[in-house]
Amino acid sequence: MADYDYDLFVIGAGSGGVRASRVAAAHGAKVAVAEEHRVGGTCVIRGCVPKKMLVYGAHFAEDVMDAARFGWHIKECKFDWPVLRDNVAADVTRIEGLYTQTLENNKVEIFHERATVSGPNEVTLASGRTISAGKILIATGAWPAIPPVEGREHGITSNEVFGLDKLPERIVIAGGGYIANEFAGIFHEFGSKVTLVNRSDKILRHYDTQIRDRLLQISTMKGIEFLFHNEFTKVEKVDGKLRIHMSSHDPIEADILLFAIGRVPHTKGLGLESAGVEIDKNGAVVVDDVNRTTCPSIFAVGDVTNRVQLTPVAIREGQAFADTFFGNKPTKVDYSCIPSAVFSHPPLAGVGLTESQARNTLGSVKIFTSDFRPMKNVLAGRNERALYKLVVNGDTDVVVGVHMIGPDAPEILQAAAIAVKAKLKKSQFDEVVALHPSMAEELVLMK
């Protein structure tokens, strides 16, 4: 590799790219990374990290409302969007600095500009400089999809939503996935009138049916409006407001239209064709089980491969790539049993097979559920019910799926995912003494 400027050149300093860069460098490789936006990528800069901070901020709306039932009397309650927005932005900048520091501490050179592939072992920077590398890693992530509707330029995406000048009185959110439902909950708690528009009649289609139906029920009860079987036909700006036309509904007006219909691999204009890298019909980089593309010297990890669009998966892929090709430790990522969550209001989470998946693939299935009002909701006079669900292989007694919706569901699910990954049996759940009083104890009390 002495004939190249670098042993490894990474395009994209998001979660996967940063992990691959620093681990490869720690293994002794000479590494450089190019990032055209900000170090940290989608998750840190414009995704899960700032969004979770907004989720925390939104929860205070209900906590303050419930406080009186717990003896707390709050005379004046006012939400100040710029304060939360600016504090979130400041913390994002702090975390970006930590990511940058991590790369620098591992002697990874950072180019703060766009890089494109110009050959099997060559990249070209926006400044015009060409750089050679023994291996090139594509870690450019994914970008919000925008529908080809007239007037789409009047809408925004999750990239821009964190920097709004003021809270919208009325917001229309396009989509039915986790991003759409999370922001629907956030803006509703902040006091906006929220309308969620989806082209089908299902939200969160990858999650267990009972769990997602419970979220729909609770969200509707709170006042979030759902318009199903609708597609946008035109978006107009009239007197400073948006008039949104749909296929099966009268036009509605809003201050903000948020497109949250999914994310597409960020490969456009990267020059991958110059090196013979195959791209699938969705724009994703095609890779094998060791993250190698159809060009032997070029690899890809993270959302740009469109395998599993989750930050922890991108990190695992980056680690596996670096260990395999620079650490003499061949590693492959196990994509089975990946836990995931939706930070809605209330949050939901799941791991393993849903009930429908289990019934389609297993010979015998047993379902155990616990449908209850969390103690906090009871005292607060809040009627929201939590729902926990175990999916069990009826032939082996192995718990093959855990799904839940309710307060702190993602925090509880992480530990439950270990049990599913370890293929523990329902009888072993039953043998565990309950931790009382807690919501999590319901996992070991289902009969």
pLDDT for residue 332 is more than 70: yes
pLDDT mean over 59-88? 93
Mean pLDDT of the chain, nearest integer: 96
pLDDT for residue 249 is more than 60: yes
Quote the CA–CA distance of 276 and 297 in Å, as a whole number.
Answer: 11
Quote the CA–CA distance of 208 and 356 in Å, as a whole number.
Answer: 8
Please, which pLDDT band fits residue 415 given cuts at 50, 70 and 90?
Answer: very high
Which pLDDT score is estimated for 378? Answer: 96
Given this structure, which CATH class describes domain 346-444? alpha beta
Judge whether 436 counts as a catalytic residue: yes
Please, which pLDDT band fits residue 363 given cuts at 50, 70 and 90?
Answer: confident
pLDDT for residue 1 is more than 60: no
Which pLDDT score is estimated for 124? Answer: 97
What are the tens digits of pLDDT across the range 143-160? 999 999 999 999 999 999
Kindly report the length of the chain: 447
Please, which pLDDT band fits residue 199 given cuts at 50, 70 and 90?
Answer: very high
Assign domain 6-144+264-326 one CATH number from 3.30.830.10, 3.50.50.60, 1.20.140.10, 3.30.1360.120: 3.50.50.60
Which pLDDT score is estimated for 375? Answer: 95
Contact 190, 315 (CB under 8 A): no
Q: Which of left, alpha, beta for 45 (phi over 0: left; psi -120 to 50: alpha)? A: alpha
> In whole angstroms, what separates CA 306 from the centre of its chain?
13
Percentage, residues of the chain above pLDDT 90:
97
Q: Where are the domains of the chain?
A: 6-144+264-326, 152-261, 346-444
pLDDT mean over 260-288? 95
What per-residue string of b and e applies to 201-218 under the rule 16 or more CB within 10 Å gives b?
eebbeebbebbbbbbbeb
Which pLDDT score is estimated for 77? Answer: 87
Q: Is 20 helix (H, G, I), strand (E, B) or coil?
A: helix
Quote the CA–CA distance of 390 and 138 in Å, as a whole number.
Answer: 38
Q: Is 281 helix (H, G, I), strand (E, B) or coil?
A: coil
Give the count of beta carbons closer than 10 Å to the beta carbon of residue 194: 26
What are the tens digits of pLDDT across the range 14-63? 999 999 999 999 999 999 999 999 999 999 999 999 999 999 999 999 99
Binding residues for FAD: 52, 303
pLDDT for residue 326 is more than 60: yes
Please, which pLDDT band fits residue 75 given cuts at 50, 70 and 90?
Answer: confident
Quote the CA–CA distance of 332 and 101 in Å, as a whole number.
Answer: 28
Given this structure, which CATH class describes domain 152-261? alpha beta
Percentage, residues of the chain above pLDDT 70:
100
Domains 152-261 and 346-444 share a fold: no
Please, which pLDDT band fits residue 362 given cuts at 50, 70 and 90?
Answer: very high
Quote the CA–CA distance of 399 and 397 in Å, as a whole number.
Answer: 6
Q: How far is CA 79 from CA 74, 158, 161, 224, 251, in A?
A: 13, 22, 18, 19, 30
Tell me which of 59, 154, 345, 436 is the catalytic residue: 436
pLDDT mean over 216-229? 98
Please, which pLDDT band fits residue 2 given cuts at 50, 70 and 90?
Answer: low
What are the tens digits of pLDDT across the range 282-317? 999 999 999 999 999 999 999 999 999 999 999 999
Give the count of beta carbons closer than 10 Å to the beta carbon of residue 307: 18
Contact 424, 361 (CB under 8 A): no
pLDDT for residue 411 is more than 90: yes
Q: What angle do CA 176, 306, 42 make, to 5 degrees?
A: 75
Binding residues for NAD(+): 175-182, 262
Which pLDDT score is estimated for 372? Answer: 97
